Structure 1
């Protein structure tokens, strides 16, 4: 099947090729490949003008927001508001808020599945996430960060679900992401075999990635991700209800976990 075909492409060294998949025999869209231009200091470029968010290097210039909320009745929500940025979006006179700008996710290329067409819903990088089990929702999580949102959430979830970490431990642990994909935002560049990694992963790990052919940009150890999460622990109780918990990110000094 398709997954087996893609799995067979995995090897011991990093690939520098652009190898789009073709599920169900679909013809893949092959966009122009423009390589990212690092700044020469080991970090990736800042976010594009139209995307005041967390850059690939972790640099923040204004931002998308993320909010998770849970209550004692088991209601849980994960929200990632974005796309009406003050510094780059038109303000609606007299109303005090900006127009949404998510149409920038569309391509001005008729061959793209995300081509700008009437009635088309643009794809989005926003990835608010809910985790459920047989009894219902157990956790909400998310982060700002463009194409890095899913990438930063995955290590957190694996650490919790497989490694036994608490939510706070999983958020605090060093992380990484790939830049070997075409950026969803203009100018839609990519870095073949690119990886951005927090230096807390350790010299041996980072050197090992480079030895396998990865183009590693090593950044400060508390840089990547703005993850937050809330959840319900039904195995424990307080008063007449289950234990509720929250965890927030020290990176960026802008996240909070609060209860009442």
Structure 2
């Protein structure tokens, strides 16, 4: 005796017809299902415990249509139960390389969802649209001219004297007398190292070797460098210290004068 519910539904446990689905014996579905009533051209593939049809396949043109009374049979949560996973593999593997289509209409996906104006109705779509508009107008305004083009003045090559004067004026404006004397002292040490054939680095070894090779030069240079703090009080003191450093760095030029 077949027991139907008040709404015509029966239990959702099914068995596969022999020889129709390879490797599929039993399939588990929902708690209840409403049986199908296939026509003579529709071949049953799943039946309930009472022999009622719960799924069938029908030839349609060059393809096949598989109809299941219980959609839970192929849901993710049911693929591990009974032979549900094998059933899905058999259905998808009927024709190797064939396209598989899923009906998502009951999920709310319609043709209108793919229309260009559909994404503008969402908050993120409207935000992207306003961003694109802002970028467009930003690029448009950036390319506008605020006046006629002004030709670029060709650059002239400056002489070494001009560069020296410019650096001197910058140091003078910033009152960097101590920095100026430090630069001159470093240049003097390099010049002395070149004349005496000594490496200027490391500095401590340079001074030790200079006291041995040229003690007079070392004494005079040390005296000037020790007085740099007091020599930076005024521009006159800076000029005096610079002259002494120049005499140490270029003794031959000083003697010719």
Q: Same fold (TM over 0.5)?
A: no
Determine which structure has the larger strand proportion and give its number. 1
Determine which structure has the larger helix proportion and give its number. 2
Query: Normalising TM by the smaller chain, what interval?
Result: under 0.3
Give the TM-score normalised by structure 2. Answer: 0.19
Higher Rg: 2
